Amino acid sequence: MSKYKAVIGLEMHCELKSKSKVFSSARNSYSDIPNDNVRPLDMAFPGTLPTLNKESVRQSLMMAMVLNCETPSYMYFDRKNYYYPDLPKGYQITQMHSPVGVNGKITIQINDTYKDVLIHDIHLEEDSASLDHYSDVSLIDYNRAGVPLLELVTEPCLNSADEAIAFLEYMRLVYQYCGVSDADTKLGQIRCDVNVSIMDEDASELGTKVEIKNVNSFSNVYDAINYEIKRQTELKEAGKYDEVVQETRRFDEETGTTKRMRSKVDAIDYKYFVEPNIPKYKINKEWLEEIRKNIPMLPHEREEKYINEFGLSKYDAQIIIKNKAYADYFEKCVALKMNPKLAANYLIVNIIAYLNKEEITLNEFYLTPELLNQIIVEFEKGTISSKQAKEIFNKSLEERKEPKTYITNDNVQISDEELLKNMINNILANNESQVQQYKDGKTNLFDYFVGQVMKETRGKANPNLVKEILKNKLDN
Amino acid sequence: MNNTKTIEELHELLKSGKITSDELVKESLLKSHEIQSSCNAFVTIMDDAKGGKVTDDLLSGIPYGIKDNYSTKGILTTGSSNTLKDYVPFFDATAVFNLAKHGAIPVNKTALDEFGMGGTGTTCHTGVVRNPWDLQRMCAGSSSGSAAAVAAGVYPYALGSDTGDSIRKPAAFCGIVGYKPTYGMISRYGLFPFASSLDHCGVLTRSVKDAAIVVDAMKGQDKNDLTSWDSNNIELYKNIDGNLKGKKLFYIKEIANLNNYPDASRELKEHLENFQKTVELLRNNGATIDEVSMDKTLLNAISSVYACISCAEATSNMSNLTGIIFGPRGKGSNVIEMMKDHRTKGFSPLIKRRFVIGSYILQRENQEKYFVNAQRVRRLIVDKINEFLQKYDALILPVSTGPATYLDGSKDEMTNDNSTLLEEHLQIGNFGGFPSITIPNGFVGNLPVGVNITGKCYDDINVLNIAYGLESLMPYKNQIAKLKEERHE
């Protein structure tokens, strides 16, 4: 492979979050009940007309801005015409002539290096219905028909499966951080088309491009790219590069290979033309400014803030930003005046581990930042030990009761210095021989005295304070 | 006969209790069956229709007809196509819904050229629609059944739709009024689409005032149609005064001047002479009418521009007719074969021809040459007309080349032999979304002919006023079709 360079372009489709669908008033939400969220337009009943969801337009424009794209002065849509059972109208309303964003660029991090990914365009369109195939019948579910879909098209500027995945993962985060999509691949909210070609390392002309359509998970994107690179390279090595033809293939999950769907000769002419039922309208400049102002802090910006302002390690910061829920949780903790490092530590060591073990999300996690704060506050005051804090954390989760219910007089630490001093004085007076042995050099008896205090207080004495007092008494 | 009266007259009778809404509906249904046997004007006659409450609303309790491409909740709506021969919508078109709010009573669904894509009334899946003035002649189309029924006196009005001239030409051939208001004044929601950028809702009546009353009730901004606009400040009926003094009109020499047609038939000659009489009549009553000249190349492009845009949009608009979700399921071993079977069997040859043309025009390699250029020329034509309308209140032109043509040998096949400017110029009204109305202006060979008045967008009141003023000067208001044998020729 060293002789050749892979050139990869991505088309990333992402379903947007909104109350209603992009061109109809049907609800836009995932439903297990088929054909639950359907209005007449979604099944293309004769005479129905599209409306336009302003929120979807806003979200698309925001993403165009995040990707540093040029935005158009006028908003209008196009029809992409083709027959398929998942496309009830026989055309998809999309944007071909004037996408919400063109000529963009975004910098992504791949391990420790940075790369600019060039964006050809980003456009708003509608999703198709979903098909369920059975042995003798196929069923159509129109819930997904008309769900707002944002399609992002990169330039062919990526050079490896790793880069492609880094880009996709970063974009997924960006969608989540901007609140425009849950971007959940498991629910099919992100789907990709991948273009792959190879070329001689020193060549200036691109090789023959092969498109792999509808790859539905990042790991499949990864496998599909690597398989294609391998396939094309082997053909090239064998002097059979002319067998690599411009065509559309699909990824076969079972075999981990790509299979031919249709060649360029059979490419569909989508007969695009401007959608006449959605009048072209001028995009208000003030509205654009308002959208720009409301772009939330992006993941890499948050990462920098965590490192520079909150003093987290890069490693910890990266773990936290990998999931918007983690980052939001962390920031809420900081807003509650928790020590950022302590909060980060709790999140990474205790909470994420718990979530993984229980296989739940942070949204389902009982201890909100406010509840966690009940533990942290007492711990920082020294009223409870770290061991106790951990116990309360677990108990609270187990019994789903507020942590403060476990912070009672029975289990709070004894941090009263006078009380401890008197107690220690008594213990030392009752153990004169041991004190003498300690002073003679048997220093490991120190733990014996600590143990005596703990015995007396049934383990509730603040250990640090006990050690401090003992040290003072014994060493002076 | 009561249903031959105007809406105002019927309203008076209903209010005073001289007749009941039930009686009107019964009479209308009776007449529907009579006209069905002679003219074949209906897809559905709603025999169980009942009278309604009479209020102060002019339309309350009065029966009317609906072109069968308007969705009607719970009532068969076919678009006069085999592809939807059993389709029963579960929602009302907004225009129909609005009329129901005014207490209007639908009594039948009228036949049309399949999906409005024809101008003869011969391509309906229920058979040919005949002209009530002469059963050997056509009503023109596509609002053929509506025109026939209104002309025959089934009721005072019926809904139509107009993509090229589908309201305004049948109105002329049937001796009645046909009005399509400015694009977007009436919501198209629920109207089966033909060509979305050209489609208009409208009405066929026997008087200008009736047209104003009905459109007042049909219109209004609709959240379901983004091309509809707020016309709350426009009250058509209330603003009709018919004052012609100072109105400035123009006609296009290249279309209406007899000298353009050296080989004119007797009918065409009479028709254009009659048009000049109408022009004189207007002049004598205080209006000025100028003959203006327009680039013949531009005018000659009208029919091709129309064909390109309408066929292209139609082929896309009707891609939902696959027999998968609604309509008879086609046969085949896979879904594409099933769609093919449904469409092959369902559509008439004329429509298939339009689809082929539309697809060809939209193909990547042809789009710029045909579709995009057609849109450019459309823009040039509209700009030119708008330029005239800066100076004038309205454009006035004769409709068609004369009275209704014979059905014999005149199947609508989109041939070029009838593509004279006189047959096609009404499409200008659709290109620009202009308000446009046809009213009867006389007889040629004992058959009615019409004249058309077209004005600026949103200037519907002005257009209706001129039409009303002219109508008042002529004896054709509220005329009912009389069959040849009844006319004692």
* Domain boundaries, given as residue ranges, for chain A: 4-286, 297-406, 417-475
Residue B221 in contact with partner chain A when CB distance is under 8 A:
no
Least trusted range by pLDDT, from A30-39, A41-50, B21-30, B429-438: A30-39
Q: Is the pLDDT of residue B205 over 80?
A: yes
Residues 6+ away with beta carbon under 8 Å from A364:
none
* Residues of chain B found within 8 Å of residue A79, distances taken between Cβ atoms: 316
CB contact under 8 A, B79 and A46: yes
Report yes or no on B309 lying in a domain: no
Q: Which residues of B are catalytic?
A: 67, 142, 166
Identify residue A237 by its one-letter amino acid code: E
pTM, two decimals, is 0.90
* pLDDT recorded at residue B418: 40
Q: List the single best residue of A45, A53, A262 to mutate versus B (max B Cβ within 10 A).
A: A45
Q: Is the pLDDT of residue B364 over 60?
A: yes
Report yes or no on B310 lying in a domain: no
Least trusted range by pLDDT, from A1-10, A100-109, B248-257: A1-10
Residue B79 in contact with partner chain A when CB distance is under 8 A:
yes
Q: Is the pLDDT of residue A36 over 90?
A: yes
How many other CB atoms are found less than 10 A from the CB of residue A186? 9
Residues 6+ away with beta carbon under 8 Å from A361:
A325, A355
Report yes or no on B306 lying in a domain: no
* pLDDT recorded at residue B419: 41
Please provide residue B34's backbone torsions phi and psi, each rounded to the nearest 5 degrees. -65, -45
Q: A10-26 b/e with 16+ CB inside 10 Å = b? A: bbbbbbbbbebbbbbbb
Q: Is the pLDDT of residue B413 over 80?
A: no
Residues belonging to chain A with any Cβ–Cβ distance to chain B shorter than 8 Å: 40, 43-52, 79, 81, 83, 85, 88-91, 138, 140, 269, 271, 273, 276-279
CB contact under 8 A, B319 and A51: no
Report yes or no on B320 lying in a domain: no
- CATH number corresponding to A417-475: 1.10.10.410
CB contact under 8 A, A49 and B335: no
**B122: CATH:** 3.90.1300.10
* pLDDT recorded at residue A410: 60
Report yes or no on B391 lying in a domain: no
User: Which domain covers residue B178, as residue numbers?
Assistant: 7-247+435-487
For residues A16 and A148, the answer to whether their CB atoms sit within 8 Å is yes
Long-range CB pairs of A92-95, under 8 A, 24+ apart, other chains included: A92/A125, A92/A126, A92/A128, A93/A22, A93/A23, A93/A50, A93/A125, A93/A126, A93/A275, A93/A278, A94/A123, A94/A124, A94/A125, A94/A126, A94/A151, A95/A123, A95/A124, A95/A125
CB contact under 8 A, B225 and A49: yes
Q: What is the mean pLDDT of chain B?
A: 95
Tell me the mean pLDDT in the region A232-258.
94
pLDDT tens by residue, A51-99: 999 999 999 999 999 999 999 999 999 999 999 999 999 999 999 999 9
Identify residue B362 by its one-letter amino acid code: L
pLDDT tens by residue, B110-163: 999 999 999 999 999 999 999 999 999 999 999 999 999 999 999 999 999 999
* pLDDT recorded at residue B488: 52
Q: What is the mean pLDDT of chain A?
A: 92
The helix-helix angle for A161-177 and A299-308 (nearest 10°) equals: 80
CB-nearest partner of B197 from A40, A89, A276: A276
CB-nearest partner of B363 from A44, A271, A277: A271
Query: What is the rounded distance in angstroms from the CA atom of residue A210 to the CA atom of residue A251?
Result: 12
> Confidence band (pLDDT; 50, 70, 90) for B417?
very low
Look at chain B and report how many structural domains it folds into.
1
> Confidence band (pLDDT; 50, 70, 90) for A445?
confident
pLDDT tens by residue, A181-209: 999 988 899 999 999 999 998 888 899 99
How many other CB atoms are found less than 10 A from the CB of residue A402? 16
Tell me the mean pLDDT in the region B439-457.
97
* Closest by Cα among B349, B300, B301, B340 to B319: B340
Tell me the mean pLDDT in the region A23-32.
92
